[in-house]
Structures are given as C-alpha cells and as structure tokens.
Amino acid sequence: MVKKSDPIKTAARRIRNAVNSARPCKPIRDLIKKDDLEAAYKIQTLNTETWISEGRRPVGRKVGLTAKTVQKQLGVDQPDFGMLFADMEFCDGDEIDASLVMQPRAEGEVAMVLDNDLLHEQLTLVDLLDSVAYVLPAIEIVGSRIANWDITITDTIADNASSGLYVLGTKPVHLSDIDLRMCGMVMENKGQQVAVGAGAACLGNPLNAALWLARKMVEVDMPLLAGDVIMSGALGPMAPLSKGDVIEVRISNIGTVQAYFGDGT
C-alpha cells in the first residue's frame, strides 16, 4: 500500500525548493482547500521552523493584505502575516542584489520597533502605543515564490505572506510627534512617481494593522517581543522592480528611505 503524502509537508517543500533553486513554483492551492487558512499558516510555520533550524534569525513580522481592495480581490476580510528574518533587512541607501527576490515589487510602509513584549491576551491600543519605541520610513520589497504571482489567499500565506526584503530608514521618529493616519506617502523610481498613498490606506491607520498583528500573534502563541520590527503594511499601490531601479519612499513627518536595485556589487 502506497503511503499518502502529507500535503502540508509537500507544499512547504515546494516553496523551499523554489527558494533554493530561485525558480518560481506552481501554486500550492492544489494541495489544500482553497480557503483553508489554518493549513496555509501550518505550511508557513513549517518553513519558518526549518529556516530557523538552518540558522536564520527571526526579528519581527510583516502585515499583508491591509488594503480593503486587495482583501476583496482575494476573498478575505482580514490581513495576513509573515515572518521577518535578519537576512531580509537592508538600510537606507543600500544596494540590493536583484537576484535575491523573485518577481519583485516595492511598497512604501511604516516600520515600527517595539520596546516591550506584547503578551497580554486582551491587548489594547494603549498597550501598543506604550510599547512602540519608534517608527521608521520603510520600503518593503515583496516577492512571490509562486509563478506569475498566480496567488490566492492560501498561496500567499503559505509563501510567508509573499515576503522578500525590507529597507529601513535610519532616523527614528516617536509616535508622539506624528499622526500616522494622516502621513502622506510618495514613492519614486529614478525620480519618476510610481505610487502615492497615506496612512489611512493601511486599515485606516498603520496602528490598526499593528494591533491586529499583536493580537493575532498572542492568539497563535507567537507573541511580539521587545526589539521586534513590525512592517505594518502598504500605504499605497505596489510598483514593479527591475535591475537598475532606484526606489525612494518619502513619508511626511517620518522621513525618506532609498535603495538601489542592482547586482549586489
């Protein structure tokens, strides 16, 4: 009798093989039910555990699907999350090797850095406000291991929320000095505007996205801890990336962050 393969392990292996080969794979939704978010997160968790065992260091989380239009497109009513690892982080002005991300696209975001653990089962906005040490302007370079971005909600969750890399500004700003909801964002590529947005586009306020994440992490017994980075979600549309591009994101009252998408030399 042939032993039936475990669909969770098979899907996780498919994504890891895509990462290791730098060749996108077919969607994983043929292995699990199309709306089985629990199974999709199990796939993500299995790969997270594998990568940690191989030496990667987790440093935070990202929130995805913060735009209501994208949620509607994928047939969900909530965001999703993925892990951030230390090897995903770049600093303002860095050159990024284009080969590090498959099918890359850029988003302008607000990054938050925590000063306290967020462990309570009934976390409030006040808990979050007291725990954010500072915010930074950020670029998220999203990517998909799924060929042609042919994704459903289960595909993107299993694929670590379509994470790639992220670039942080270097001048911390305190929450008391800004209104995140009203912060306007402009993203340019080689001086040409490619996206505009505002804090209100991110679940009404990036703090709403961060609070959803903090509560979700407690729910799944993976709480956010002091020092963790939160990539809180896009403030505007994604823009495609190619080798030679120079992305700059300006967020009012927070600052500017830039990265060159090159060959790593």
CA distance 125 to 189: 35
Q: What is the pLDDT of residues 194-225, one digit of tens each?
A: 999 999 999 999 999 999 999 999 999 999 99
Residue 81 in domain? yes
Is 90 exceeded by the pLDDT of residue 34?
A: no
Residue 140 in domain? yes
Domains in the chain: how many in total?
Answer: 1
Per-residue pLDDT, 72: 74
Pick 119 or 71 by higher pLDDT.
119
Is 80 exceeded by the pLDDT of residue 15?
A: yes
What's the mean per-residue pLDDT of the chain? 94
- Cβ distance 223 to 117 under 8 Å? yes
Q: Which domain holds residue 84?
A: 7-262
> pTM of the prediction?
0.94
Please report, for the domain that includes residue 241, its CATH number: 3.90.850.10
Q: What is the pLDDT of residues 151-200, one digit of tens each?
A: 999 999 999 999 999 999 999 999 999 999 999 999 999 999 999 999 99
264 pLDDT band, cuts 50/70/90, is low
Per-residue pLDDT, 1: 45
